[in-house]
Amino acid sequence: MKAVILGAGRGSRMGEVTADRPKCLIEIDGRSLLDRQCAAFRAAGFEDIGVVTGWQAERFTNLPVTLFHNPFWAGTSMVDSLACARRWLTAGPVVACYGDILVTPADIQLVARSAAMIAMAFDPNWLSQWSRRFTDPLQDAETLRLDADGNVTEIGGKPGSLTEIEGQYLGLIKLEPAGWARLDAAIARVGRRDMTGTLARLVASDPAAVQGVAIRGPWHEFDSARDLATGYDVVTQIDRLLSDVVEDRAERGVSGRGERRQGRLDGGSG
């Protein structure tokens, strides 16, 4: 199974922090989001990691990942960036991750182990993070409903109340080749090309198309400069988890590719 990190966007809501680098290469305590993401995927057992680039693509050269490029990043979406990794998506299962989130290796494994053609991670305890990040949690939240079997039946709408939200999609999704084929077909049909809009179109035609996977956390999204403060505690928690994995492998004599043997993924000193 391969991993694809979607890192094409500029991250303009980060302000000056992303003036000279894409959002996934912003650093917190001297380490980039991308470096932490790759470490988490390797700790979860992934050896092949790809990154879709766009803004400031030259910053990703000489990094220990497979690079895909979205030349139209400025006017396209996460869905279009994902499609740039089509050759991986058609060849075998892929776990795709937004470039501005941090998640634990355990939650990556939860999604990867799902038997569903499309397995979408969501946070059932989303309200805690949204309350830290927004004065009105409904400001940025989207609807999400699941049936008794865990299938996503509604996603991506504007909620009128908390009762319409069973969780929030965090930007982590597993796609089998058959699942990608269905998502790709939905992309071709749908006018709204953002990820949740495309998933909404898909589940509207087939309520069993997308399986929801509840994560345990911690995790955090880094969408604006404010998130660097609200998400700092999560960063330190995940750093400890990643450090524990490296120490455990060292004790067991495992040469883990989860360790950053080939250099830091910070794209240069800028």
Token reading at 223: 């969408």
Displacement of CA 57 from its chain's centroid (Å): 19
Task: Kindly state the average pLDDT of the residues 2-23.
Answer: 94
Whether residue 33 contacts residue 98, with contact meaning beta carbons closer than 8 Å, is answered with no
Q: Which of 42-56, 125-139, 149-163, 187-201 has the lowest mean pLDDT?
A: 187-201
**Is the predicted pLDDT of residue 87 greater than 90, yes or no?**
yes
Q: What is the pLDDT of residues 97-119, one digit of tens each?
A: 999 999 999 999 999 999 999 99
Confidence of residue 256 (pLDDT cuts 50, 70, 90): low
Q: State the DSSP code for 165.
A: B
Q: At 161, phi and psi to the nearest 5? A: -155, 165
173: part of which helix (H) or strand (E)? strand 168-175
DSSP string, 41-83: HHHTT--EEEEEEBTBGGGGTT-SSEEEE-TTGGG--HHHHHH
Task: Kindly state the average pLDDT of the residues 175-194.
Answer: 88
Q: State the DSSP code for 18.
A: G
Q: State the DSSP code for 114.
A: -
Q: State the DSSP code for 124.
A: T
Size of the chain in residues? 270
| CA quadruple 175, 190, 201, 171: dihedral sign | positive
What per-residue confidence (pLDDT) applies to 99?
Answer: 98
34: part of which helix (H) or strand (E)? helix 33-43
- Tell me how far apart the alpha carbons of residues 177 and 183 are, in angstroms, rounded to a whole number: 10
Find out if CATH 3.90.550.10 is the number for domain 2-217+225-252: yes
- Tell me how far apart the alpha carbons of residues 100 and 238 are, in angstroms, rounded to a whole number: 14
Place of tokens 């929030």: 168
Mean per-residue pLDDT over the chain, rounded: 92
Strand partners, 98: 6
- Tell me how far apart the alpha carbons of residues 44 and 54 are, in angstroms, rounded to a whole number: 26
What per-residue confidence (pLDDT) applies to 250?
Answer: 82
Q: At 189, phi and psi to the nearest 5? A: -90, -35
